[in-house]
Amino acid sequence: MKYILRVFLFNTFALWITTEIVPGIRIQGDILTTLLGGGILSILMLIVKPMLKILFIPFNFLTFGIAGLFINVVVIYLLTLLFPEIQIVPFTFPGFSWQGFVIPSIKFNYFGSLLAVTGAITLISHLLHSVSES
């Protein structure tokens, strides 16, 4: 039970902080909408993601684990289908420059935005899980 609560809290926090950092995800509503979205994301991560991992074992083996990223992309896409208050939208990264290090402006289409949002949510939730287990 503690594990399920921890997954819910970490996924909800990762979803919220991603909406604050990445402009490619929008949640229409208040904190209750974010909590409900985090709950749906947690259910998808606990039930659907393991089934997809089992289903894609051969593909994951052939791609040396890169298919795991696309499994997370499918889970986030399912979240947007099941909960339309959470939307993934195209966005433009304005670029970055510091001390001669330059990242140019990048336009993300829907799939690129979905990859960026998935990467942020996955990174934040894995970071929270690793910190809580040590």
Mean pLDDT of 31-57: 95
Could you tell me the pLDDT band of residue 118, with boundaries at 50, 70 and 90?
Answer: very high
- For residue 16, give the 3-state DSSP assignment: helix
CB neighbours of residue 25 within 10 Å: 25
Total count of domains within the chain: 1
Could you tell me the pLDDT band of residue 39, with boundaries at 50, 70 and 90?
Answer: very high
Q: What is the mean pLDDT of the chain?
A: 93
- Residues 79 and 45: their CA atoms lie apart, in Å, by 10
Residue 69 is predicted with a pLDDT of 87
Mean pLDDT of 46-58: 93
Per-residue pLDDT at 134 exceeds 70: no
Mean pLDDT of 84-112: 93
pTM for the structure as a whole: 0.89
- Which domain range does residue 119 map to? 2-133
